[in-house]
Structures are given as C-alpha cells and as structure tokens.
Amino acid sequence: MQSALYVGLSAQVTMQRRLETIANNVANANTAGFRADAVKFESLLSRTAAHATAFATAGENYINRSAGSVTRTDSTLDLAVIGTGWLAFSTPTGVVYTRDGRMQINADGELQTTTGRPILDPNGAPIVVDPNGGPITVLVDGTITQDDNQMGAIGLFEIPPEAKLTRHDNSGVIPDRPAQPVLDFVNSGVRQGYVEGSNVNPVVEMTKLIMATRMFESASSLIENSESTLQNAVRTLGEPTRT
C-alpha cells in the first residue's frame, strides 16, 4: 500500500479546512463582536500497513473566545462587554449570545440589536424604554436609566468554559450548556459608548494563510511523487522476463 499517497491526501483535506477557516476569519476582521474560528487537529493512527501510519484528521472547528479590541464611539446605544460575559438576544429558534453591543430602539421602545432582535435582561425578558424619553444611560452592571428613572437592566451572561459554541450569523453564538447571569461586576460589566471589534488579527491570519498554502502545496508534491513511484514500480514489475 502506498501509505504516502493517503497521508498526503489526508493532509490536503486538513489544509483545505484550514484555508476555509482562515478566509472566513479575514472576511470578518472588521465585524463587531466577531469571534475567530480555529481548527483543532488530531492524528489518526492506522495499522493497515506494514508499519503504523499517522494520518491527519479533517479537524474540528471551535470558536476562539478571546476579547477583541475596543473602540470609543460616544454613542449611548453602543456597549462593550468587560470581562468574559456575553449579551443575549432572542430569535425564533431560541436565545443567542453575542459580544456585539450595538443597539437600537424601535418605535415601541424595545431595545434591539442592529438586526432587529430583542435584547434580553438578566431574566431573559425583552427590555422596553421610552422611545421619546431621550438618551439612555447604562451603568457598568447593565442598569438602564432614562430621565433619572430606572428602566430595567441589560442582561450579562457567563457561558461555561467547557461549553461548545455554535455560530449564529456572524457575531452570535449558541452554547450547548446553559449560560448563567453574571452576578459579580467587579471584573465584569458593560461600558457605554464603546464597541468591541473582532478578535481577528489580520497579520497573524495572513501568516497562517501563507503557511497553510505552502503545506497544501507540499502535500500535493507528496502525492505526485507517490503516484510517480507507484507507476514506475508497475512498469518495472510488469516488464516480461527475458530468457
């Protein structure tokens, strides 16, 4: 068996997955609250050949939770999350969590995301303010005041570190374990007038892109050499014996 052929093929599949992930990260480098995708690779050991052979798996995507850079906007409807918490909004299919704190107020006074989804309070309920009541003020713990009246609070939630995240659109995530409201605001909270960007480092991603491209090309060369060796062996062994 030409193990090198299959090892090279598995490497190509792996690098193709990596290239797709890097391309998506670069495309969302300027998306507010975006969390970069990364790929975790493992080797698969096979003993079908005479010697144990390690193959690369296609890889498993996971979402990098590290914080992105924060930009000052001075808009009262912009929030940046401090710490590891997440904002929450509701969708027809359930609750989604995000670090994109850009908000808007609709005609009914409901606080929404820029895509029109209701932003939730710590109890998971929509937040309503006075649409004609002037600017809102949001404290570090999420408390909302308007004309010196408390109007509710922005919910801030902690997703368990071991939870697996599934992407929703660009900046939203859905954990496979329940998120809990943040109760300690010493190291967590929100900051009004700021927006958190993506955690994608374009320079690093471009470096990864170059490396992945070179590795893909190396795997292609390995396959070509393996095929050439196999063809030469077939020609040599297939020649008739002269007497």
Residue 8 and residue 125 in one domain:
no
14 DSSP β-pair partners: none
- Token pair, residue 233, equals 């062996």
pLDDT score of 8 more than 50: yes
Residue 182 and residue 211 in one domain:
no
Stretch 30-58: mean pLDDT, rounded?
Answer: 64
**pLDDT higher for 224 or 54?**
224
β-strand pairing of 189-192 with 78-82:
antiparallel
Q: Would residue 84 count as lying in a domain?
A: yes
Residue 156 and residue 209 in one domain:
no
pLDDT the model gives residue 38: 84
Q: Would residue 215 count as lying in a domain?
A: yes
Confidence of residue 12 (pLDDT cuts 50, 70, 90): low
Q: How many domains does the chain have?
A: 2
Q: pLDDT tens-digit profile of 210-225?
A: 887 777 677 666 566 6
Confidence of residue 44 (pLDDT cuts 50, 70, 90): very low
Residue 182 and residue 110 in one domain:
yes
Q: Would residue 173 count as lying in a domain?
A: yes
Residue 205 and residue 153 in one domain:
no
Q: Would residue 132 count as lying in a domain?
A: yes
Stretch 72-95: mean pLDDT, rounded?
Answer: 97
Residue 112 and residue 221 in one domain:
no
Confidence of residue 181 (pLDDT cuts 50, 70, 90): very high
Residue 228 and residue 133 in one domain:
no
Residue 164 and residue 210 in one domain:
no
Residue 181 and residue 87 in one domain:
yes
Q: Would residue 174 count as lying in a domain?
A: yes
Domain of 24 in residue numbering reads as: 3-64+200-238
| pTM score of the predicted model | 0.78
pLDDT score of 97 more than 90: yes
Stretch 103-119: mean pLDDT, rounded?
Answer: 97
pLDDT the model gives residue 45: 44
Residue 117 and residue 16 in one domain:
no
Query: According to the 3-state scheme, what is the secondary structure of the chain?
Result: CCHHHHHHHHHHHHHHHHHHHHHHHHHCCCCCCCCCEEEECCEEEECCCCCCEEEECCCEEEECCCCCCEEECCCCCEEEEECCCEEEEEECCEEEEECCEEEEECCCCEEEECCCCEEECCCCCECECCCCCCCCEECCCCEEEECCEEEEECCCEECCCCCCEEEECCCEEEECCCCEECCCCCCCEEEECEEECCCCCHHHHHHHHHHHHHHHHHHHHHHHHHHHHHHHHHHHHHCCCCC
Q: Would residue 243 count as lying in a domain?
A: no
Residue 94 and residue 206 in one domain:
no
Q: Would residue 186 count as lying in a domain?
A: yes
Q: Would residue 150 count as lying in a domain?
A: yes
Q: What is the mean pLDDT of the chain?
A: 85
Residue 74 and residue 106 in one domain:
yes
CA gap 185, 117 in Å, rounded: 25
